[in-house]
Every structure is written in structure tokens, then in C-alpha cells.
Structure 1
Amino acid sequence: MAVFWKAITGGLLLALLGWRAEGQENRAGKKEVSGRSTLNLGQERDIWRPLIHTAVNLSEISSIKSTFQFRTFDPEGAIFYGDTKGGDDWFVLSLKDGLPLMQISKEDMLVSVTGGPKLNDGKWHTLEVSNQGKFVVLEVDGSSGLVVGMQSKKEELPISSELRLALGGVLIGPEKLIVQFEPQMDGCVREGSWLNLSVPWEAVTEELWPCYQNVRPGSYFSGMGFAVFNTSVFPIKADDGVTFELWGDLTNMDGTIMSIKAPEQQLMFAIVANKNTKEVTLTFGVEQFTMTDAFERLVITFQTDLMQVIQVGDESKTTRFPISPTDQPAYLSAWAEGHLAFGGLLGEGEDNTGSQFLTGCLERIQVQARDLDLDFAVKHSSISSHSCPE
């Protein structure tokens, strides 16, 4: 099976000083781009659907390697896919836990291998994939990353079909994968050299998101929407309580940072930042608390009889609010049946729209001491889960 590439850049969606994928429409009205374009793999679409794809007859292939540059802070997602025989033989390169993961199906063989250096460090890396006889080789920055050996007992017949290539998704059913992974990738690819081919690639959308030139880790909210979780995915016992931790300069943000609400109940909790006044206001039921001091991290703990707020900075500050017995049922039911939103205020309507959406970067979010991945939320397409523009 022949292999493919070259690409890179991490970043996300709007456009600061970044690169765009240049393209034009083909006769069918589909946008075509060059394989060397800089592409933001995080663009909104069906999660398994590739961002761009192309096809070529195997007889036109003169090279058995592909190179590209790649950048991301995302630990998991689909990068590159190729297949022959209409998808019977296929290859997938992705990340899982930050490590390269190659999965290959060929004739009677299914193989997966994970290893090499972690690639979700936000730096540009040059990747090369080549087919060397019975081996598929992945090189990272000029050094060997992964080597997969494959030999079938069946006689290999000449292949006279087309080769399909895709970035940011797969062209087979994900149930065929040996190792399942979350496909959404907040990352960028550039400078692709795909089997030395010059054929154009077809994009799934008319406008392609740019990649920021410089990025840093975090979740970026552009002020256009929010991310919502069901609180039931974070089960708690009544006596254990629940803890949230938010990293970042909240006083430099603008809009609703976080809110909690159960259906047909009053808003339980909200944090709203005002960039102009440098104030962060916390609302819990009828209680309201305004913070004006700069801090690096905010820790909020709900327990049966109190809510505790810790502002962590040069001088940490702790504030406690009692929870009365009459408020306890509302607090517990809101957590058992409600919604947790980041970047917006949960409202009364079915569309859950409320006050001003957040503009800013949350460097890190934890719930119950575990990092929260916004890829698992129902979120607006403008939110980038793992990177913020510098």
C-alpha cells in the first residue's frame, strides 16, 4: 500500500495574523485547494468527515512517501487517511494521548501501533510517511518514530484501482478501526507533499478557517457561542461536593465564563467577567460576590452546607458562603439533572441562549480534579478546545 504527505500548524479559527488555504471552485461548484495549503483541521463539520480529500489512479503515483508539517496542543484526533480498493485496504494516522497512532488494514491483516515522541506540544513537527517494502515507516523531524512490518501469507495481486487521500477524517466507517479515538483535531497542517502528486484536493466547505501564526494552550472563546455538558456525566454523592478550577486571567476576559442550571429551575450559579471594569462577578442563587483582584486560578467547591471560593495568586484569598438547608435540594437537583456551560449563560429558552458570550482564553479547566476536554461538549463551532491565539 502506498503512503503519503507533508503539513503543519496549530491554531484555530477566526483570523489573526495567520495563513489561509488558497482555493478555487471546480466545475461541480466544490472548493479546490492545493495539497501544500495551510489547513485548520479543527473546522466544524461532521466529526469523522475529512476536511479535504482527493483521489488519483495508482498508475499516476511516482513516489512512495509523503511529508507534511503539523502543530497541535490537542492530545487526540484524526490527521491523515489513505485507502485503495474502495476502502478495503486503508491507513490512518492520528494522535491518542499525544502520541502518533498508525492503524492499517491490508488484505487479511489489521495492525495498530502507537509510539514515538509526543506531538501535542504546540511546536511545528515535520512528519514523513513512507512505504518501504513490507514496512510502513513514520519519521518525525528526521528521526524514526514508528515502523510497522506487514507480510501476508496470501499472494499479493497487482492493484489497478484508485488511491483516495483525506485530511482530518476517514472515508470508512469508524467501527472498522482497531483502536477507537475522538476524531476532532484542533491542529493545523501545512507544506504537504503527498506522494509527489500535484492534483487538487476538494474541500467540504466553501470557506476554510485560517490558522493562527502563534498559539498557546487553552480553550478559546470568540464571543459567538458556548459549550454545554450534562452535569450527570460528573456524578457526585451528596456529601462529597464538587470542585471546579479555572486557570487564566479572568479579569482580562469579557462575558459569561461559566454557568449551571437545571431545566425549569432558576439559574443556580454563574461567573461573569467585565473586561472594562476588571471585575469578575460570581452569582449563587441570591448571593453575589465581586472580585477585583488579579489572580491566576479560581477554585470553586460546592459542599452540602457551603460554597467555597479560592482566588489563587500572589496572595491567595478564600471566601465561604453558607448553603441553607432549603437551598440544598435545588443545588443537588441542579447537579443531577442540569447543564454546565462554559462561555455563556444558560437561559430560559430551548436554545439556552442568555447573556453575553465569553471572549477570552481559559488556559485550563478542571472538574473534580480532572482536565475537561471541550471536544466532548456540545459546543459552538467558533470555540477552539485546545489552543488560543497569542
Structure 2
Amino acid sequence: MVTVWKVMAGGLLLTLSLTLLGWGAEGQQNRREKKEVSGSTSVYLGQERDIWRPLIHTTVNLSEIRSIKSSFQFRTFDPEGAIFYGDTKNGEDWFVLSLKEGIPLMQISKGDVLISVAGGPKLNDGKWHTLEVSNQDKFVILDVDGSNGLAVGMQSKQMDEVLSGKLRLAVGGILISKEKMIVQFEPQMDGCVREGNWLNLSVPWQTEVEELWPCCDRVKPGSYFPGTGFAIFNTSVFPIEADHGVKVEFQGDFSKMDGTILSIRAPGQELMFDLVASNNKEEVSLTFGKEKLSMKYTVKRLVITFQTDLLQVLQDEDESKTTTLSINPTSHPGYLTTWREGRLAFGGLLGEGEDSVGSNFLTGCLEKIQIQGKDLDLDLGVKHKSISSHSCPVEA
């Protein structure tokens, strides 16, 4: 199912304009003058840019290196993304540390050797972990919180050569073509790196973004919407099953949300569905065609099931609060067409036109979004740069 979502989301990218998601001149930041930062600075890895480009990087002479260890602190709830990269010979020999399904993944190219190894503890638990990467004889070692997490051994005819020239280091991206890697992964990560000590060097690092986004002091799992954009999927990614339909579940403190949680519309048609939280009215309202259902905003969990002939809404765990709305071809003539050709927007109200700008964007944290009982990764859709897909800030 995840693979299908990626394919459909990729197709949607071709049909949406930059205006729809609020992108524009900001996408040209990579062309701006590079700025210097400290290598120990806090780096939010999910910051918007070309997703494969590092957020910070530096170049040093190999003759200046006296230490073979780099250490830093790392925190994320995201199961996948690029963390740390290094290379020599202008990218001929390289190293990449990333996460895949929450587990550390190291990929190394050295001369005629290409290696990929995954292992160690899952790191996407939202806690700060201290990671140390080092070279020990013919091994590259990853230590996690002082314990051995992953070791990669290499043997090559070129291992004993004396290295000279430049070493490049990067955080949050890579400096080579992604096609060179054995294992492909989604690079952008909702996570943070801080207190980096890179080969015991004090050289400045460079960033190509105008300003590095800060890391939140405290975070919790969820998807955070700051009120500036939404995430979009094709409805065809989630086909209605004859027996079970499509079940969408939301969890969170709805009393602290304001704006559109979910909207569904097909191009050229009227809005089919929206779910809205209102602080002013102190309610959560669901509109389906001309029918409207109002609920108390103290609700913590909503399960909405779309079927061919009915729409069912369950509030919290109380079966007595289950509401069923009948669907028939007369009152909802375009219902199934919308599921074949429409779009779902999480965190905003879809406009009428193909490239129209959304509105009534959501402010707040959805602690869980599930489709068919599986967590929905907003990174697999087309989302506004301001949305954090895997973490929400915790109020002090």
C-alpha cells in the first residue's frame, strides 16, 4: 500500500501548481549566498529546501584531520531520512548514515567496494540519542548512547592508499547522486541534530538557506499544522472496499485545534466533505453534501468510515455516539466519482479549481492520522513546507 501511495502522490505533484501549496520564490533559496554557521549548531532536518541537498556542509583538507570520530545528538519520531554524509575524491568515495524503518542504515562506497548495512536499535522514539561514527582499522563503527550499534567491515585493494585532498561533510542530505546508493530512501526527516563534534575540527560550516529553523525543546508524536498549509492525496490511493469501505481515524485534543481537519473534493465539483474544528463555536462539525453533524469539541477521537451507501462517524470509544448518514445516488450523485478522481486535503479546505489556493488551514496537533488502521505519513503526499509530519511541539 505504501508503494502505491508514493506512486499516486508523485503523479499528483505533476498536476498541482506551486501556488496551490504556497510555494514560490522561497524555493529559490539554494541560489542565495552561502552563510557560515557553527558545526555544533542545532539543525532541524525537516526544513524546506531541495530535499536531497544538505542543510549544512563543510570542506576540509585531509591533512588537517587528527581525529577519526564524529559525534552528535539526534532526535526524531520519523522512521526515514538522511542524517550524516561524508566523502573524499569529490564524491568518488562516500559514506551515508540514514534511518530506514527507524533503524540506522549505513551505505559506503570505497574504491571497488559498495556496502549497505542496517542494524542497531530503533532511533525514532523521540528521545535524544548520542551517535558516534568512527573508523577503526578496516571497520566503520556506529555507537549509539555509548554502546555498539552497527559495525561495517571492508576489504579492498585500495584500502591502504594514502589519502590526500579534500574531505566533505554534510548534515541532512548528500552531495552525490541518489542513484549511487544501494538502498533508496526518502531523504527529508522531521528530526533534529545538535552538539556536533565533527572530527574534532572547529572549521565553520556553510548553509544555503537564509535562516536555519530552530528545533523545539520538547516534542510529542503527531502531525503539526501551524495554520499555513495542508497535505494532499489523491482519493484513488484509498479505494473504497466493498465490505469495509475506507476508515479514517483522527486522535488529538480537538479543543486546541482550529480550522479544517479534512476536506474532500473532485475537480469541477462542489465540496463533498469537510471536518472542521472551531474554537469560537466550541464544536467540531462534519459537513457531507447538505447534511451537517455537530459534535462537542471535547472529543478526543473520531473514526469516519466511507462506504458506497453510508457514512459512519464514531466519537471517542462510545458506540452510542455512532452517527450514520445514508448515501444514495439522488442526494449524492457524484460521491463515487469523487473517490475515483478527487483529492483529500489534511489540514485545509480545498478550493474549487484545479490550481486554486486552499483556505481555513488547521492550527493544532493531530496526534494520530490513520487510514485503514495504518498510520498515514504525510510525507508521502504533497504537503506545505510548514507542516511537521511526525512531531508536534509540547507547550511549556
Same fold (TM over 0.5): yes
Aligned partner of 2:367 in structure 1 is 363
Shift of 1:176: 0.8
Shift of 1:315: 7.4
Deviations 1:274-314 (A, max 9, x none): 01332001010111111015222100001111100000147
**5 Å matches for 1:66-105?**
66-105=70-109
**5 Å matches for 1:1-390?**
29-154=33-158, 156-237=160-241, 240-292=244-296, 294-313=298-317, 317-327=321-331, 329-390=333-394
Shift of 1:250: 1.8
Deviations 1:344-371 (A, max 9, x none): 0001134432431100000011112221
Structure 1 vs Structure 2: percent identity of aligned residues? Answer: 72
Deviations 1:163-191 (A, max 9, x none): 11111011111111111111111001110
Structure 2: gaps of 5 or more residues? 1-31
Deviations 1:56-98 (A, max 9, x none): 1111111000000001111110000001111111100001111
Shift of 1:251: 2.9
**1:136 aligned counterpart, secondary structure:** strand
Residues 34/119 of structure 1: CA separation in 2 closer, same or farther (3 Å cut): same
Q: Which has the higher helix share?
A: 2
Shift of 1:252: 2.2
Moved over 6 A (4+): none
| 8 Å contact kept, 2:351–2:357 | yes
How does the TM-score come out when normalised to structure 1? 0.90
How does the TM-score come out when normalised to structure 2? 0.89
Structure 1: gaps of 5 or more residues? 1-27
Aligned partner of 1:3 in structure 2 is none
Amino acid at match of 2:393: P
Aligned-residue Cα RMSD (Å) equals: 1.6
**1:212 aligned counterpart, secondary structure:** coil
- Structure 1 distance, partners of 2:55, 2:358, is 32
| 8 Å contact kept, 1:239–1:304 | no
| 8 Å contact kept, 1:135–1:147 | yes
| 8 Å contact kept, 1:226–1:357 | yes
Residues 189/155 of structure 1: CA separation in 2 closer, same or farther (3 Å cut): closer
Deviations 1:6-41 (A, max 9, x none): xxxxxxxxxxxxxxxxxxxxxx94211100101111
Amino acid at match of 1:125: H
Residues 318/155 of structure 1: CA separation in 2 closer, same or farther (3 Å cut): closer
| 8 Å contact kept, 2:77–2:126 | yes
Shift of 1:234: 2.0
- Structure 2 distance, partners of 1:35, 1:306, is 56
- Structure 2 distance, partners of 1:380, 1:206, is 18
How many residues are aligned here?
A: 363
| 8 Å contact kept, 2:265–2:350 | yes
- Structure 1 distance, partners of 2:333, 2:182, is 45
Aligned partner of 2:17 in structure 1 is none
- Structure 1 distance, partners of 2:33, 2:264, is 44
Deviations 1:115-169 (A, max 9, x none): 1111111110000000001000000000000010001145642221211111101
Aligned partner of 2:14 in structure 1 is none
**2:90 aligned counterpart, secondary structure:** helix
Shift of 1:215: 0.5
Amino acid at match of 1:172: I
| 8 Å contact kept, 1:294–1:313 | no
Deviations 1:99-127 (A, max 9, x none): 11111111111111111111111110000
